[in-house]
A and B are shown apart, each in its own frame.
Chain A
Amino acid sequence: MKDKYEVVVGLEVHAQLLTKSKAYSSDLNEYGAHPNTNVSVVSLGHPGTLPVMNKKTIEFAIKLGLACHSEISSHQYFARKNYFYPDLPKGYQITQDKTPICTGGFIEIKGENEGQKKIGITRIHMEEDAGKSIHDVDVYDTLIDLNRAGVPLLEIVSEPDIRTSQEAYQYLTEVRKLLRYLDICDGNMEEGSLRCDANISVRLIGETDFGTKVEVKNMNSIKNVQRAIEYEVTRQIEAIEKGEKIDQETRSFDALKGITISMRTKEAANDYRYFPEPDLPPLYISVDQINEVKKTMPALPKELFVKFKTDFGLSDYDAYNLTDNKSLALYFNEVTKNTTHYKVAANLMMGEVKSYLNELGVEIDLFPISPIVIAKLSNLIAEEKVSKTVANQRIFPELLSNPNEEPIDIALRLNLLVESDENNLKSYVVQVLNENKVEKERYQNGEKQLIGFFMGQLMKVSGGKADPKQANSILRELLESSK
């Protein structure tokens, strides 16, 4: 039944910007402060006060626009969106209506079958956050905290290009990654610094008109956006199959039950009465200004992905994993300046380094070993001076406590260098064969697969140091010759 239908989703993302001060006034922009301390007469909406635009907000908006291949508009002005709610003291939100700062563009996501898919961007505009209403602390009253009122936001509106809940997940992951690479939003959905509303509809495959869309709110993780879409799609298809009509409405996602619930309000028809904000003079953005911002653009995930793939010969999987997190990607980029054994270094990063970070729940900024040392360790492994196992299990932990010691010095100090002296290897082999006479005989009677067993024993007696290739040939030689 579901196969007959096509899912159509567009996402609206709100990103709180990492500015020091608010969008239109100088109060501190900071999460988690004591209630109603980061406020000013402007954000409190006192009569006679005037907003003044924060330069940084514009710079951040241009950055995101450039990253999304959008057009940056040269002339724009702000608008008032009027609505009455207690956490909006002015009675209107200062936003952009007819002249968003960025229009068009796209964000690339990992599509199905390893392909890439472009999700179109309709617009990105600048606006301000409202305060916070707390409904569940007091029985009779709602409590209002206006610390968040006036915090700068970018609203990123996608085209209805998303066709599956998985694509929505990918899209949001990419949006968050971009915001973090650009260092303009911390992307924390749990704390609400990144929020997402989904416009969801379904239609029969082949149909060119869109179905009636439902807006779903209150999803506080990327996973929950995916879940909400899945629930909503099933609900809509089942309703249509029963011959029911889909209401155009706003629904709220209940993460515990995994369902969406209608938020029917009396004031269903939004009547925001937009008009130009007279208190903020128009904004002109010159080509020079855009070029200035361009100069400060960091490397973006896509660029690093391509670089890791084409310059370093890494697989899609490796390149994707290493660019998932900005600081990790930049760290790896540093590593590659001191080694050409990219794959070995990548394995170290995704293996030992990542497990260390995951175990401690920290970012790479707190990782004690420098990129150059990781590069040197990669070289030791690649040049077969130490085995991978010894590098991971002995040298790496040693480096964690002595980050300034050279990996080669640790290998020498702990006697960990690969043993390639033929006489020494021979004596290991002799020892192993003497200690395992039964297996030796079985091997000689044709059970050739036992070579693996002997190699394992050999590594054990040599403390993992035996040069595997050399040891293997000596082992075979002695097994054959002592028949």
Chain B
Amino acid sequence: MKIDKSTVLHIAHLARLEVKEEELNQMQEDLEKITDFMDLLNKVDTTGVEPLIFMTEEINVLREDNAVESITQKDALKNAAHKDSDYFRIPKVKG
């Protein structure tokens, strides 16, 4: 499948990735390789075959509804680039 530059930029924007102009070609190429491979897979006749969604046979892996305190507020905030004593701080987002 042909991937054009605007598609690359759109995907990058959705993930809030900054793509430099010189990286754009490489990315475009990589994505095309990936989609080409998908196209190849799509050629296989899968009529009547249930889609395989999970690689595991496990089902219903559940937990009881018990609350556990696992980390402190201090630890929760520890790796944040910007924070105060209570909150993660980020540049203003429009509400």
Contact = CB atoms under 8 A, between A and B. Distances in A.
A39 B88 contact: no
16 contacts: A20-B67, A21-B68, A26-B67, A27-B68, A29-B67, A34-B86, A36-B73, A37-B73, A41-B70, A54-B65, A56-B65, A77-B53, A86-B90, A142-B92, A146-B76, A146-B88
A134 B16 CA distance: 21
A430 interface: no
A40 B58 CA distance: 25
A41 B14 contact: no
A142 B68 contact: no
Interface of B: 10, 13-16, 53-56, 58-73, 76-77, 82, 84, 86-95
Interface of A: 19-21, 26-29, 34-37, 39-41, 44, 52-56, 58, 77, 82-86, 91, 133-136, 138, 140-146, 267, 271, 273, 276, 278, 280-284
Nearest to A269: B10
Overall SS of chain B's interface:
loop
A276 B16 contact: no
B56 A281 contact: yes
A134 B64 CA distance: 32
Contact of B70 (A26, A53, A141): A26
Overall SS of chain A's interface:
loop
B16 to A, nearest CB: 5
B14 A84 contact: yes
Contacts of B61: 52-53, 280-281
Contacts of A41: 70-71
A278 B58 CA distance: 12
A273 B68 CA distance: 33
Given A35-B86, A44-B76, A144-B89, A54 B59 contact: no
A29 B69 CA distance: 11
B29 to A, nearest CB: 21
B90 A144 contact: yes
Nearest to B69: A28
Contacts of B73: 34-37, 39
Contact of B66 (A26, A136, A138, A282): A26
A313 B90 CA distance: 61
Given A55-B62, A135-B94, 16 more contacts: A27-B67, A28-B67, A36-B87, A39-B73, A54-B65, A55-B63, A55-B65, A84-B14, A85-B93, A86-B88, A91-B15, A138-B89, A144-B87, A278-B55, A281-B59, A281-B60
B88 A52 contact: no
